[in-house]
Amino acid sequence: MTSQFEYSSTLNSEEIEQLKGILAQCFGTSITNVEPYYKLIGINNFRIVRQGGKVIGGLAIYNMGQWYGGSSVPMAGIAAVGIAPEYRGTGAAYQLMSSTIAELFSTGIPISTLYAATQRLYRKAGYEQAGSYCVWELPITAIERGDRPRPLHRVDPLEYQLFEEIYRQQAKQNNGNLDRNKAIWERTVKPNIEEEETVFAYLIGDRVALEGYIIFSQSRQNNDAIIKVWDWTLLTKAAVKRFWTLLADHSSLIDRVHWKSCEIDPLLLLLPEQKAKIFRKEHWMLRIIDVVKALEKRGYPAGIETELHLEVTDEAIDSNNGRFCLKVSQGRGEVTKGGKGELQIGIRGLASLYTGLFTPTQLQLTGYLQTESEALLTAKLLFCGSNPWMADQF
Ligand SMILES: CC(C)(COP(=O)(O)OP(=O)(O)OC[C@H]1O[C@@H](n2cnc3c(N)ncnc32)[C@H](O)[C@@H]1OP(=O)(O)O)[C@@H](O)C(=O)NCCC(=O)NCCS
């Protein structure tokens, strides 16, 4: 960090209060509302930037994982990036992000993910669009009240341990889904403090062989009554049917349903007509913090034995620069330095390639990667898979 700014992971009690005040102002909320957020994240997971010895901004880090190719890759989720208004426009946020990335690299974290209020800042720090967060909307009358092939068991949503294993079975099949930590689970199951909504949770299936769960609340938006599905996991066709029928069983008083899913949502295949619309969509961004670790920690399609020769450029982290040979066998990757450098790619392009949000051909078209060899086809084979998405915002 330049001498103008000082990055730190240790805050004294006065600085903690200063940071709470800055973040409350940055995100348009009160210090009272920031308090539970502090407790949730844990003070050790905040980073600050000082100028002239004074705290001028900070951010939060969620330590968790993200599933790629069936493996959970350790990931640092960055949240609550905020700089006091009087210090904006002088590079403070960029310096804060750069120092955070350097710290993550030194602690061996392979990747980092965030939701960007402005892409420019995070692109400058090496992040690129990498997966989707998508809220779907459907008039409740578009769902048929069909079968009830499995029982439902009402449970306390706060007991998220009931859902963890079921969630994990689904999440590992979906590139980009979070390997959730305690803080993410608590955000998932606790009602929104300001709206004071009641949250309902049901396990689906026989107690000894659960096939899914649904967590939802009911609220009003304009003149409509809405069911908001906060979280779900459905492991079988019977569970998907039960999910839809449970929602349809609310049709006497509810107008619309919202749920979070991927952009091409297989749940819609069991509906009679194409009435669902994407209500909200956003692409989260990812940074490859450590090229070697990131490529080695994820999984690859089984049955492919090949080598991909990359040449990577990264302005921020020296060791990410140069040629890397990714040798894939039996679903795992091994990286050695050197090789032929057949596919040239910047660190941002590598983020989009890694998650599979964009295909190698699309990244070539937009100038994110260059190659004149069959490496393009190899990259297609290695980074194909389910379209990356997650149901969580942080
Ligand atoms: C967004 C925020 C953190 C930026 O802080 P900052 O210290 O002014 O940012 P920097 O001066 O380090 O800017 C770094 C780069 O991001 C760009 N940038 C910063 N704020 C931007 C904005 N609102 N819109 C577009 N670009 C922006 C800068 O232009 C600069 O890029 P450049 O050097 O290529 O011109 C600050 O405005 C803030 O705290 N906002 C309120 C909270 C918020 O939105 N946080 C982000 C949550 S994801």
Mutate to test the pocket of ligand 1, among 25, 29, 88, 283 (most ligand atoms within 8 A of CB): 88
Domain ranges of the chain: 6-126, 134-283, 290-382
Reply yes or no on whether the pLDDT at 214 is more than 90: yes
pLDDT (0 to 100) of residue 373: 85
The CA 78 to ligand 1 mean position distance, Å, reads: 15
Return the CATH architecture of domain 6-126. Answer: 3-Layer(aba) Sandwich (3.40)
pLDDT digits (tens, 9 = 90+) for 93-120: 999 999 999 999 999 999 999 999 999 9
pLDDT (0 to 100) of residue 221: 83
pLDDT digits (tens, 9 = 90+) for 255-287: 999 999 999 999 999 999 999 999 999 999 999
For ligand 1, atom 10, the nearest C-alpha belongs to 91
> What would the mean pLDDT of 76-83 be, rounded to a whole number?
98
> What would the mean pLDDT of 233-257 be, rounded to a whole number?
97
Instruction: Report the atom number in ligand 1 closest to the C-alpha of 114.
Output: 48
For ligand 1, atom 44, the nearest C-alpha belongs to 117
pLDDT (0 to 100) of residue 285: 98
pLDDT (0 to 100) of residue 325: 98
For ligand 1, atom 6, the nearest C-alpha belongs to 88
pLDDT (0 to 100) of residue 220: 87
pLDDT (0 to 100) of residue 195: 63
The CA 117 to ligand 1 mean position distance, Å, reads: 9
Neighbours of 17 (CB within 10 A): 13
Assigned token pair, 298? 């994820």
- End-to-end Cα, the chain, rounded Å: 26
Longest alpha-carbon distance in the chain: 66
Specify whether the CB–CB gap between 187 and 40 falls below 8 A. yes
Specify whether the CB–CB gap between 114 and 60 falls below 8 A. no
Please tell us whether the domain made up of 134-283 is placed in CATH 3.40.50.1110: no
pLDDT (0 to 100) of residue 3: 60
What is the rounded CA–CA span in Å between residue 4 and residue 109?
A: 27
> What would the mean pLDDT of 187-214 be, rounded to a whole number?
87
Amino acid at 102: A
The CA 108 to ligand 1 mean position distance, Å, reads: 27
Instruction: Report the atom number in ligand 1 closest to the C-alpha of 80.
Output: 47
Angle CA(62)–CA(67)–CA(71) in degrees, nearest 5? 120
pLDDT digits (tens, 9 = 90+) for 2-26: 569 999 999 999 999 999 999 999 9
> What would the mean pLDDT of 206-232 be, rounded to a whole number?
94
Confidence of residue 33 (pLDDT cuts 50, 70, 90): confident
The CA 92 to ligand 1 mean position distance, Å, reads: 9
Element (DSSP H or E) covering residue 23: helix 13-26
The CA 85 to ligand 1 mean position distance, Å, reads: 10
For ligand 1, atom 12, the nearest C-alpha belongs to 91
**149-184 in b/e burial notation, b at 16+ Cβ within 10 A?**
bbebeebebeebebbeebbeebbbebbbbbbbeebb
Mutate to test the pocket of ligand 1, among 96, 121, 393 (most ligand atoms within 8 A of CB): 121
Reply yes or no on whether the pLDDT at 191 is more than 80: no
For ligand 1, atom 21, the nearest C-alpha belongs to 118
Confidence of residue 197 (pLDDT cuts 50, 70, 90): confident
Specify whether the CB–CB gap between 75 and 284 falls below 8 A. no
In DSSP terms, which residues pair with 63 in a beta bridge?
A: 76
Centroid of chain to Cα 35: 24
The residue ranking higher by pLDDT, 36 or 243, is: 243
Instruction: Report the atom number in ligand 1 closest to the C-alpha of 87.
Output: 7
If we measure between CA atoms, which residue out of 329, 326, 339, 325 comes closest to residue 305? 329
When the pLDDT of each residue in the chain is averaged and rounded to a whole number, the result is: 95
Please tell us whether the domain made up of 290-382 is placed in CATH 3.40.30.10: no
The CA 53 to ligand 1 mean position distance, Å, reads: 21
For ligand 1, atom 18, the nearest C-alpha belongs to 121
pLDDT (0 to 100) of residue 145: 87
- The residues, any chain, with a CB within 8 Å of residue 175's CB and separated by 6 or more, are 67, 68, 69, 131, 355, 356, 385, 386, 387, 388, 389
Assigned token pair, 379? 């990259």
The CA 118 to ligand 1 mean position distance, Å, reads: 7
Q: In what order do the strands lie in the sheet with 343-346?
A: 332-337, 322-329, 306-313, 343-346, 369-371
For ligand 1, atom 17, the nearest C-alpha belongs to 121
Instruction: Report the atom number in ligand 1 closest to the C-alpha of 122.
Output: 16
Confidence of residue 146 (pLDDT cuts 50, 70, 90): confident
Above pLDDT 90, what percent of the chain? 91
Are 6-126 and 134-283 equal in CATH topology? yes
Instruction: Report the atom number in ligand 1 closest to the C-alpha of 121.
Output: 16
Residues near ligand 1 with C-beta < 6 Å?
26, 81-83, 88-94, 116-118, 120-121, 124
Mutate to test the pocket of ligand 1, among 25, 34, 118, 287 (most ligand atoms within 8 A of CB): 118
DSSP character string of 91-146: SHHHHHHHHHHHHHHHTT--EEEE--S-HHHHHHTT-EEEEEEEEEEEEGGGS---
Reply yes or no on whether the pLDDT at 313 is more than 90: yes
pLDDT digits (tens, 9 = 90+) for 316-327: 999 999 999 999
For ligand 1, atom 19, the nearest C-alpha belongs to 121
